[in-house]
Amino acid sequence: MGGASTIDPAGPDGKRPAASGRSRVPVLLPLPLAGPYDYAVPEGWGVPQPGTLVAAPLGGRVLAGAVWHGAPDGTVPEAKLRPLAALLPAPAMTAPLMRLVDWVARWTLSPPGAVLRMALSVPAALSEPRVRSGLVLAEGVEPATLPKARARVAAVLAEAPVPWSAADLARAAGVGPGVVKAMRDAGLLVAVAMPEGAPPRLGGAPPALSPAQAEAAAVLRAAVAERRPGATLLDGVTGSGKTEVYLEAVAEAVARGRQALVLLPEIALSAQVIARFRARFGADPHVWHSEVTGARRRDTWRAVAEGRAPIVVGARSALFLPFPDLGLIVVDEEHETAFKQEDGVAYHARDMALVRAHLTGIPAILVSATPSLETLANVARGRHARLHLPERHGSAGMPRVEAIDLRATPPPRGQFLSPPLAAAIGETLGRGEQALLFLNRRGFAPLTLCRGCGHRFQCPNCTAWLVEHRYARRLECHHCGHAEPVPPACPECGAEGSLTPVGPGVERIAAECRERFAGARIAEMSSDTVHGAHTAAHYAAMIGNREVDLVIGTQLVAKGWHFPHLTLVGVVDADLGLAGGDLRAAERSFQVLHQVGGRAGRADRPGRVLLQTWAPGHPVMRALVSGDVDRFVAEEMAERRAGGWPPFGRLAALIVSSPDQAAADEAAEALRRAAPGADGAGEGFRVLGPAPAPLSILRGQHRRRLLLKAARGVDVQALLWAWLARAEVPRAARVDVDVDPVSFL
């Protein structure tokens, strides 16, 4: 991860033999350079094919790069060329992956090398394959003569005389790792080279599918079998069995000897999803995300490149793995904004997954209970097919959703649960069932102010309030990580005991519940209490075992969990996501609230969802209460169409940032002056801004935004290239480009 990697040139030393009249090849390096560099091919190598991974000297170091496709640049004089240092012992990049790199670079206006960097993110995997050693019994060792623990180890090896890893061996023998180590040191065990991991043996049979599932699965299996390019939306409510259906498509790819890639948002918390793959195929899929590091990361990359990984389940970065024979890409929860990478190369993994599938000539499946408007528009245009799963027979059905009008039944002063919601929680707990309260805000209170002088605690690096975290006794900025202790007195007027928390976070809701539902066992789930897959699984088990009565959580609890005893979901502030005028605020609110509501009543008992809102008439609330999703989508689509917004128009953002406010303003003005067209408007496009970004100072950077809004069919990239080339931006400011922005921060 991070850092373009120097690698050990397995080949010649770093001297510079003159390159004389030999062939030259373009080599793309994992650096933000404008394009590939030309290199001389040492004598006797032959001409390396495009995609070949090579070690190339650059300045004083040697980098891993890829021989690129297309003609060498040719303008660099022969004498300046340096010879390639070595061919790397790793499979060459495939043509579709090289084309993907070019495609993403062009689309995002990033240097191709910056994109290549994502595809060569595992430097260790590019050098000589790791020789793993395993342990076998030394010759002539007689198990019977050994002490008990050692005898058990010997027995395991006698039973299965293949090389074992030390950890596996200790586990199988039921002894500590020390025993195995001591036996090796004593010469009772010897290390031998272990063969590279064979592909997992996949087996398993399809589960019993409903007729609708079976029909959808058959369509998708056929598409995979025939390698039919094109995308299909697979949608249906929570519990309609979408996963089982796409797993059949995965099974088809595997049966044909091809690989399948399944992209998920934030995989770290989806242990339950991995378990479903295991249940279906009898073996774990290869897993890829940022928390997979070290030897595991290297082995997985290698297994993918060598075709030994039939199924890969991964976060967005898995999109750039070197599959030699990909047969299917699935994007699960395709509406999730986590698929959009914001920093560095700003790409949307869902959209680029469709590109990779297209370039590879294979089918793609987009899966969601609440598809994005982009995807629905593509279905409407006939660009994607659609398979819709109806609600499943025999399931609990969709929960009943009701809005609580806070204007009519407000919470008591200083509290946040309205009487109807509090009553419903009390009844649920009284029946011995579980309830979940959802509030997408960490900490105790989002704002602290002084009752004496009105002072508000603000982050020194960002335009944001500091959030009180009462357990940690700190005021924290959720944008830059700044934290300070809660002071005993107001720093402005010196008054003591005058600081007042304003508004709720999950900690405050938990405090209120402890008071109101004495004796209830409460679990708080937010990124402050749940750190990664392990704790998440722990919480899930506690909830599943009914060791918890009331769950209070942030967005984290909305994701894919199945809690069979949970029958009530209360949304503390259903209006929260609607503030701020974001283009997709309504769509996203609907998706999140629908998803968290889906946690209620999945077993035999009906679920109930209560939404606390000040605006029960808002289209999002009406859609959730009535369940009339189609109408909501139609209204939202009509608004977007009328305004020329995505998915009916295109957007690109230019984000100016600088530690110096004047430089940021100057750069923004320079961009404005250089805007394409007459005064920023032309055939099918218009430039909006500059305006301060919603977080006008973030991590000490002053930020300004300009927005290019264009009709579909306008070559946005061409406009942006010309625009950026024209603009004279002061050095003290930088400009980032975000094509198809998802977030407007």
Partner DNA sequence: AGCACGCCGACT
Partner DNA sequence: GTCGGCGTGCTC
Q: What distance in Å separates the CA atoms of residue 272 and residue 152, rounded to the nearest whole number?
A: 34
709 and 651 Cβ atoms separated by less than 8 Å: yes
Report the nearest approach of DNA to the CB of residue 5 (Å): 8
**Among 31-39, 96-104, 132-140, 714-722, the segment contacting DNA (CB under 7 A):** 31-39
Residue 54 in the binding site for DNA (CB under 7 A): no
Residue 60 in the binding site for DNA (CB under 7 A): yes
Residues with Cβ within 8 Å of 488's Cβ and at least 6 positions away in sequence, in order, are 496
Report the nearest approach of DNA to the CB of residue 84 (Å): 9
Torsion of CA 423, 429, 431, 434, to 10 degrees: 120
Which among 539, 507, 360, 342 has a CA at the least distance from the CA of 439? Answer: 507
Which among 295, 294, 275 has a CA at the least distance from the CA of 285? Answer: 275
Residue 38 in the binding site for DNA (CB under 7 A): yes
**Applying CB under 7 A, what is the total number of residues that bind DNA?**
23
Overall size of the chain counted in residues: 745
Report the nearest approach of DNA to the CB of residue 659 (Å): 10
Residue found by looking up tokens 């404008």 in the block: 34
Q: 68 or 539, CB closer to DNA?
A: 68
Tokens of 718: 């061409």
Report the nearest approach of DNA to the CB of residue 31 (Å): 5
Report the nearest approach of DNA to the CB of residue 29 (Å): 8
Residue 76 in the binding site for DNA (CB under 7 A): yes
Residue 82 in the binding site for DNA (CB under 7 A): yes
Residue 4 in the binding site for DNA (CB under 7 A): yes
Q: Which of 14, 61, 174, 291: binder of DNA (CB under 7 A)?
A: 61
Residue 697 in the binding site for DNA (CB under 7 A): no
Residue 652 in the binding site for DNA (CB under 7 A): no
Strands in 516-565 per DSSP E: 522-525, 550-553
Q: 123 or 285, CB closer to DNA?
A: 123
**Among 28-36, 41-49, 155-163, 389-397, the segment contacting DNA (CB under 7 A):** 28-36
322 and 93 Cβ atoms separated by less than 8 Å: yes
Residue 416 in the binding site for DNA (CB under 7 A): no
Q: Which of 37, 246, 590, 685: binder of DNA (CB under 7 A)?
A: 37
Which among 556, 574, 578 has a CA at the least distance from the CA of 401? Answer: 574
Q: 76 or 160, CB closer to DNA?
A: 76
Strands in 280-411 per DSSP E: 286-288, 311-314, 326-332, 363-368, 384-388, 400-405
Q: 22 or 132, CB closer to DNA?
A: 22
Q: Which of 10, 43, 80, 207: binder of DNA (CB under 7 A)?
A: 80
Q: Which of 53, 55, 66, 81: binder of DNA (CB under 7 A)?
A: 81
**Among 76-84, 162-170, 328-336, 578-586, the segment contacting DNA (CB under 7 A):** 76-84
722-741 residues near DNA, rule: CB under 7 A: 731-732
94-153 residues near DNA, rule: CB under 7 A: 114
Amino acid, res. 408: A
Q: 130-155 burial by CB neighbour count: b if 16+ within 10 A, else e?
A: eeeebbbbeeebebeebeebbbbbbb
Which stretch of DSSP H or E encloses residue 710?
Answer: strand 701-711
Which among 310, 359, 354, 358 has a CA at the least distance from the CA of 334? Answer: 354
Report the nearest approach of DNA to the CB of residue 35 (Å): 8
Residue 21 in the binding site for DNA (CB under 7 A): no
Tokens of 491: 């720093």
Q: 58 or 190, CB closer to DNA?
A: 58
Number of neighbours of residue 478 by Cβ within 10 angstroms? 18
Q: 506 or 735, CB closer to DNA?
A: 735
Q: 81 or 303, CB closer to DNA?
A: 81
The single-letter DSSP state of residue 337 is G
Tokens of 477: 């900025």
Which among 599, 447, 467, 463 has a CA at the least distance from the CA of 528? Answer: 467
Residue found by looking up tokens 């998708």 in the block: 220
**Among 78-86, 510-518, 675-683, 690-698, the segment contacting DNA (CB under 7 A):** 78-86
84 and 72 Cβ atoms separated by less than 8 Å: no
For Cα atoms 547, 551, 552, give the angle at the middle one, nearest 5 degrees.
Answer: 150
Report the nearest approach of DNA to the CB of residue 181 (Å): 36
Q: What distance in Å separates the CA atoms of residue 468 and residue 446, rounded to the nearest whole number?
A: 6
Q: Which of 14, 20, 70, 73: binder of DNA (CB under 7 A)?
A: 73
Residue 533 in the binding site for DNA (CB under 7 A): no
Residue 43 in the binding site for DNA (CB under 7 A): no
Q: What distance in Å separates the CA atoms of residue 293 and residue 282, rounded to the nearest whole number?
A: 24
Q: What distance in Å separates the CA atoms of residue 726 and residue 734, rounded to the nearest whole number?
A: 15
Residue 32 in the binding site for DNA (CB under 7 A): yes
β-sheet bridge partners, residue 191: 135
Report the nearest approach of DNA to the CB of residue 118 (Å): 13
Q: 61 or 673, CB closer to DNA?
A: 61
Residue 3 in the binding site for DNA (CB under 7 A): yes
Report the nearest approach of DNA to the CB of residue 708 (Å): 24
Report the nearest approach of DNA to the CB of residue 54 (Å): 12
Q: Which of 31, 472, 583, 714: binder of DNA (CB under 7 A)?
A: 31
Angle, helices 619-626 vs 629-643, to 10°: value is: 150
Report the nearest approach of DNA to the CB of residue 652 (Å): 21
Tokens of 623: 């859609």
**Among 25-33, 444-452, 498-506, 541-549, the segment contacting DNA (CB under 7 A):** 25-33
Q: 35 or 307, CB closer to DNA?
A: 35
24 and 41 Cβ atoms separated by less than 8 Å: yes
**Among 29-37, 195-203, 510-518, 648-656, the segment contacting DNA (CB under 7 A):** 29-37
Q: Which of 11, 12, 23, 33: binder of DNA (CB under 7 A)?
A: 33
Q: What distance in Å separates the CA atoms of residue 221 and residue 237, rounded to the nearest whole number?
A: 22
Q: 31 or 674, CB closer to DNA?
A: 31
Report the nearest approach of DNA to the CB of residue 430 (Å): 58
Which stretch of DSSP H or E encloses residue 719?
Answer: helix 716-726
Interface residue list for DNA (CB under 7 A):
3-4, 6, 31-33, 37-40, 57-61, 73, 76, 80-82, 114, 731-732
